[in-house]
Structure 1
């Protein structure tokens, strides 16, 4: 447990000290929460609070994706460049515990960011219509988003060399997912093949499920809580995480 805690503290401290990380992870989602409503000039006023709520939820998802896919990959690549793994490979540290420590640090950092985005959204007029059961279920989908995002981050770190390359690859995948997965555009506006992507990509699907639970179909534009889609979201998230941990343990911890 001490191994996990030590790595967790390292990740959180480094994240909070890095202005670039704070900008991309915290400031960008907050910026979209504040600016995007100005683009809804034709929307009826009574729809603005739930639309702002849906935007707030989506930006929390976006923030978690940046943290899991970009920040995590960047930290690992940076430590590998400094030769950290060559030094600790002979120490009594297991790859699994070290990976869990990194992931736990990203989770704690993401919780801070989620709290910030949520507070800004509420102060800006966001409203949520879901009940207690819906809130609990949505938390489960947020967990799946974190599981999938950190899994992708571990995969990126395992195959992309260099801190800058790994970080920017994570950012690129985050933006790509947001655009093709219906997070930055209403689901009905997507071409039919991108609607399929939005339903099968675990992060995009989980985000749509959260918005549907807390805001209803008026904001999510479709019901993502069909049995097959929920099962696919869970399996996809777990598969990405398992693949990430396996690749990280094998490729980042091998002797060079």
Structure 2
């Protein structure tokens, strides 16, 4: 078995055996869907005339996938480095690409499954999400989103030395970003200056792309711009993560 396959299998087994993490990875975004979906059931956004669910469902889905990617790799890298697992791996012929690649494949798989389960629930009559004909394009956008936020999580995991630090830094990044990017509140209802500022946030691009794909709120060019933005953020975050990566806390 190759190093990549062995690490991938180990990551999968560790993830599925942690029932608490497994449950909340899927239940946490669903909780926000239920709360906001019931609060704004049957209501439309005044500025656009579109139903709230067409904003809330794609936004919460994007945030849930991004959140899982950041926290998942952030905690893993911190724990592996703290326990000197990375240093032991470094003493083997295992390349860094196999370590990060195995986490990447696992994160993408989790993100896609999250998306399928989330959309299936949002389609229930009590929520009333209606899919557009371009909904399959949400899959590659989810993959790009996971890529960008996985790289962001790698940066967090490289700098933090305790679980508390990872949780604090990741929450400080992801919670404000969720509100400023339109995950919990429609951007159309926000001031124009705030809509402009949110363009510098990767979650805004993921929200826009997923929303356009699932609900038809944008054109193909809008999805293309969202994809390009996610690629750019993934490249920048990836470069920073590569430069800041450390095998051990001892050095």
Residue matched to 2:82: 81
Deviant stretches of 4+, over 4 Å: 226-230
Query: Which of 230, 247, 250 is residue 252 of structure 1 equivalent to?
Result: 247
1:58-207 superposed matches below 5 A? 58-123=59-124, 124-131=126-133, 134-207=134-207
Secondary structure of 1:252 counterpart: coil
Residues in 2 aligned to 1:13 and 1:200: alpha-carbon distance in whole angstroms: 36
Matched, 1:241 2:241: no
Q: Is the 8 A contact 1:199 1:224 kept in 2?
A: no
Counterparts of 1:201 and 1:163, CA distance in 2: 25
- Contact 2:132/2:213 (<8 A) preserved: yes
Distance 1:62 1:39 in 2: 19
Shift of 1:135: 2.7
**Pair 18,81 (structure 1): closer, same or farther in 2 beyond 3 Å:** same
TM-score w.r.t. length of structure 2: 0.83
Evaluate the alpha carbon distance shift between residue 37 and residue 229 of structure 1 in structure 2; reply closer, same or farther with a 3 A threshold. closer
| C-alpha displacement of 1:223 | 10
RMSD between aligned residues: 3.0
CA distance in 2 between partners of 1:93 and 1:64 (Å): 28
Aligned partners of 2:145 and 2:84: how far apart in 1? 31
Deviation, structure 1 residue 42 = 6.5
Q: Shift of the alpha carbon at 1:17?
A: 2.6
- Separation in structure 2 between the aligned mates of residue 87 and residue 177 of structure 1, nearest angstrom: 36
Where does structure 2 lack aligned partners over 5 or more consecutive residues?
none
Shift of 1:145: 0.7
CA distance 1:80–1:187, change in 2 (3 Å): same
Asked if the contact 2:15–2:21 (Cα under 8 Å) also holds between the matched residues in 1, the reply is yes
Conserved 8 A contact 1:25-1:67: yes
* Contact kept in structure 2, 1:57 and 1:210, CA below 8 Å: yes
> Can you list the C-alpha shifts for 1:100-148, whole angstroms capped at 9, x where unaligned?
11121222222332232222222344433421xx234332321221111
TM-score (norm 1): 0.82
Rounded Cα–Cα distance in structure 1 between residues aligned with 2:171 and 2:24: 9
| Structure 1 segments unaligned to the other structure (5+ residues) | none
